[in-house]
Amino acid sequence: MDSIIVRGGVPLHGQIPIAGAKNACLALMPATLLSEEPLTLTNAPRLSDIATMKTLLESLGAEVTAMAGGRVLAMSSHGLTTTRADYDIVRKMRASNLVLGPLLAREHHAVVSLPGGCAIGARPMDIHIDALTHLGAEIELRDGYLHAVAKGGLRGARVPLRFASVGATENTLMAATLARGTTVIENAAREPEIVDLAHCLRRMGARIEGEGTATITVEGVDRLNGATHPVVTDRIELGTYMLAPVIAGGEVECLGGRIDLVAAFVEKLHEAGVEVEETATGLIVRQNGTRPRAVDVVTEPFPGFPTDLQAQMMAMLCTAEGVSVLEERIFENRFMHAPELMRMGARIEVHGGTACVTGVERLRGAPVMATDLRASVSLILAGLAAEGETVVSRVYHLDRGYEELEKKLSAVGAQVERVRAS
Ligand code: UD1
């Protein structure tokens, strides 16, 4: 398995281009299943999770062609061959469950494997099931698979979500576009990736109002057409690279960055004394000489502080001045990076869903192990602040969500190098 070696203590200067959002692309790709006409996505990120979704769609009979080095995905679902999403693919990635809503809407039946356990918590599917049941689907769990049928097609309805789940909102939104009548999703998730999905579906002819608010209204149509849609900027990649100069010192412009995508996060950076400037081309982050101040963070659904930036923020707070309290409210068991950061000299105490970080002046390089996608990158960030060499192993997690990480960080002066397993 590959590992990444980081030699810390070098201030960063330059620009980092931010890719299209992995999580938006993973929801946009299954939208192809809703139409017989082609759907083309531009600004797609080049990541292994996107390759997994491609494989899944192809296994259903869709055609997915990656062009322009993977930046453009041309998809067509005119001839689906099956409505069964197999465990072998679904187990690799939870977002595979996003084919359920579209398949039910278009084909009126689907068999989708349950995603199985995930390192960051139980992540059940009850909200998805409840929502699609409101739209008239009958869903049974047999042999580890969800067997879903909508006799005569889905029917629009009022769909209250018990929690503003991102995936359940996306599945329901896609399903509702082809349902008969009006659907009102209440307590909908408001993430930018959902807004992006709604924009794409509207380009395909769907009738949607209220995306980005807690109530989304969808007027079902008989069919959707083809479209071309650019994937929104990845706010998590953006936030991750914005933290790099805060940790290592220096000044970096994240190209394509927008404050509205990361407002709650930027508010915390300001509170920590970090300078963030919006330019015509992106966001500039500056940290010259001084240590950032400790801040308290609570993760919440959008527009709150994103859980997907919690590990990276913790890496930054390890060398901040003072004591920070981080509360994780979205996933249980999402502090697996804490013991690894402690191996680098961080002072962290974890009690259930709360972590208390006492900032130290300096971290020290150490061999550490990546446990999930965001945890992995937090260890790389911490390595930028550490004295000596940090070796992060099991970095395959990183390739799921960060394209060319070594290249992007090296371009701004970081000493980061991948060692390929022989
Ligand atoms: C998406 C993101 C993920 C991010 C998460 C929260 C994608 C591909 N992934 O994941 O990176 O961390 O949003 O912002 O977009 N839950 C239930 N029952 C359900 C569904 C969810 O209890 O049926 C719980 C989960 O266990 C979790 C919480 O709700 O504790 C949030 O999950 P959800 O918003 O659905 O996240 P995902 O869509 O899986």
CA of 51 to the centre of ligand 1 (A): 21
276-289 pLDDT, tens digit each: 999 999 999 999 77
Angle between helices 166-177 and 192-203 (to 10 degrees): 10
**Position 270, amino acid:** H
Closest CA to 147 of 110, 100, 172: 110
pLDDT for the residue numbered 123: 65
pLDDT for the residue numbered 205: 98
25 annotated active-site: no
Question: In angstroms, rounded to a whole number, what is the distance separating the alpha carbons of residues 213 and 190?
Answer: 6
80-117 pLDDT, tens digit each: 999 999 999 999 999 999 999 999 999 999 999 988 64
pLDDT for the residue numbered 116: 62
CA of 95 to the centre of ligand 1 (A): 9
- Whether 338 contacts 349, CB under 8 Å: no
Nearest CA to ligand 1 atom 35: 165
- Whether 376 contacts 397, CB under 8 Å: yes
Q: Which of 98, 99, 123 to mutate to test the pocket of ligand 1 (most atoms within 8 A of CB)?
A: 123
Closest CA to 325 of 308, 349, 302, 300: 349
Question: In angstroms, rounded to a whole number, what is the distance separating the alpha carbons of residues 317 and 246?
Answer: 10
pLDDT for the residue numbered 122: 58
Which position among 118, 254, 318, 356 bears the catalytic label? 118
- Whether 49 contacts 26, CB under 8 Å: yes
Please list, in sequence order, all residues whose beta carbon lies within 8 angstroms of the beta carbon of residue 398, skipping any fewer than 6 positions away.
4, 370, 373, 376, 377, 380, 405
CA of 105 to the centre of ligand 1 (A): 22
Q: Which of 127, 129, 166 to mutate to test the pocket of ligand 1 (most atoms within 8 A of CB)?
A: 166
| φ, ψ (nearest 5 deg) of residue 288 | -110, 105
* Ligand 1 atom nearest to CA at 308: 12
Question: In angstroms, rounded to a whole number, what is the distance separating the alpha carbons of residues 290 and 6?
Answer: 22
Residues with pLDDT less than 50, the chain? 117-118
Dihedral, CA of residue 168, residue 174, residue 177 and residue 179, to nearest 10: -60
- Whether 85 contacts 56, CB under 8 Å: yes
**Domains assigned to the chain:** 3-19+233-419 (3.65.10.10), 22-230 (3.65.10.10)
Q: Which of 52, 134, 165, 310 to mutate to test the pocket of ligand 1 (most atoms within 8 A of CB)?
A: 165
